[in-house]
């Protein structure tokens, strides 16, 4: 392309101008470095971000986040039903409803175009809190097979520790896989079924059979998905500044 030279400036017929010389070269290098850093930052996502992206607004009081907050407020009710009111069957129904509505907040965010950075962290955090509360409560009242509940709890604890370790190393990209989502969804139905089996002797056989049918494959999937953390841990231990998904 034909260019006209002026003092310290190159001008093209397309109307674009760029500095030349030592100062211009330093400016171009700085711009490239800034763009490279921006690309790395934009590729990072919050821990447990289900979609692996930080797209969304900075808003907090959105309809999806309020729905997630409502689900969070059900956790004390769940504890009260199990430990104070001693109504485990009602607790099983509530836990099943909370598990079945796990997808609603994400659907509302897309439907209303109210995706938010806070919601992408808040939603999975509430899900895990609810999950752990239910597990510990069921272990306390012996409302399910002890080995099964411990296996589920151990997996969740290991994943949480791994995520915290990666976060401390400066890694924020810990995308939850489809297998992990499916396993969690299945376990959120298996746990209420075990709880209902312990609370309702008349239907214990049916509830327990359904719990095993759903729970065993979900437990296997959950541990299989947890294996995906180990390569990430190994890579980040050897190269802590590397970002991967």
User: Distance (Å, rounded) from C-alpha 22 to C-alpha 140?
Assistant: 71
Q: Which of 11, 30, 12 is nearest to 22 (CA)?
A: 30
Which helix (H) or strand (E) covers residue 9, if one does? Answer: strand 9-12
What pLDDT score does 124 carry?
Answer: 80
pLDDT at 175: 61
Using CA atoms, how far apart are residues 81 and 96, in angstroms rounded to an integer? Answer: 14
Distances (CA, A) of 152 to 79, 101, 181, 191: 19, 21, 14, 10
What are the two backbone dihedrals, phi and then psi, of residue 77, each rounded to the nearest 5 degrees? -65, -40
Burial class (CB in 10 A: 0-12, 13-18, 19+), 169: middle
User: What is the per-residue pLDDT for 15?
Assistant: 46
Chain position carrying tokens 């231990």: 237
Q: Given 3.40.50.720, 3.90.1150.10, 1.20.120.1760, 3.90.550.10, which CATH number is that of 63-238?
A: 1.20.120.1760
Q: Domain residues of the chain, as ranges?
A: 3-42, 63-238
Query: Quick one: which of 128, 76, 79 has its CA closest to 102?
Result: 128
Tell me the pLDDT of the chain (245 aa) as tens digits: 444 444 444 444 444 444 445 555 555 555 554 544 444 334 443 434 444 444 567 888 899 999 999 999 999 999 999 999 889 999 999 999 998 888 898 899 889 988 888 888 888 888 888 888 999 999 999 999 999 999 999 988 887 787 777 667 665 555 666 777 788 889 989 999 999 999 888 888 999 999 999 999 999 998 888 777 666 666 655 554 333 33
CA–CA separation, 166 and 131 (whole Å):
22
Alpha-carbon distance of 60 to 65, in angstroms, equals 7
Residue 14 has a pLDDT of: 44
Rounded-to-integer distance, Cα 79 and Cα 199, Å: 15
Matching residue, tokens 């009602």: 90
Render the burial of 86-119: b for 16+ CB within 10 Å, e for the rest. Answer: eebbbbbbbbbebbeebeebbebbeeeebbbbbb
pTM check: above 0.85: no
């Amino acid at each position: 392309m034909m260019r006209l030279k002026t003092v310290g400036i190159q001008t093209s017929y397309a109307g674009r101008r760029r500095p030349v010389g030592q100062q211009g070269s330093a400016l171009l290098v700085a711009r490239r470095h800034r763009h490279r850093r921006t690309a790395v930052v934009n590729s990072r996502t919050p821990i447990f971000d289900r979609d692996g992206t930080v797209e969304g607004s900075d808003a907090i009081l959105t309809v999806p986040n309020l729905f997630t907050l409502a689900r969070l407020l059900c956790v004390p009710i769940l504890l009260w039903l199990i430990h104070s009111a001693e109504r485990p069957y009602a607790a099983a129904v509530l836990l099943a409803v909370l598990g079945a509505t796990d997808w609603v907040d994400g659907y509302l965010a897309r439907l209303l175009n109210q995706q938010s950075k806070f919601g992408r962290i808040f939603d999975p955090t509430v899900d895990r809190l609810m999950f752990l509360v239910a597990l510990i409560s069921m272990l306390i009242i012996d409302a399910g097979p002890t080995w099964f509940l411990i296996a589920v709890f151990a997996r969740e604890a290991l994943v949480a520790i791994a995520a915290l370790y990666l976060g401390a190393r400066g890694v924020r990209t810990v995308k939850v896989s489809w297998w992990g989502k499916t396993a969690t969804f299945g376990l959120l139905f298996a746990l209420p079924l075990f709880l209902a089996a312990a609370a309702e002797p008349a239907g214990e056989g049916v509830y327990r059979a359904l719990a095993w049918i759903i729970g065993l494959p979900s437990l296997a999937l959950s541990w299989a998905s947890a294996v995906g953390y180990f390569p990430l841990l190994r890579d980040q231990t050897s190269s802590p500044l590397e970002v991967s998904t």
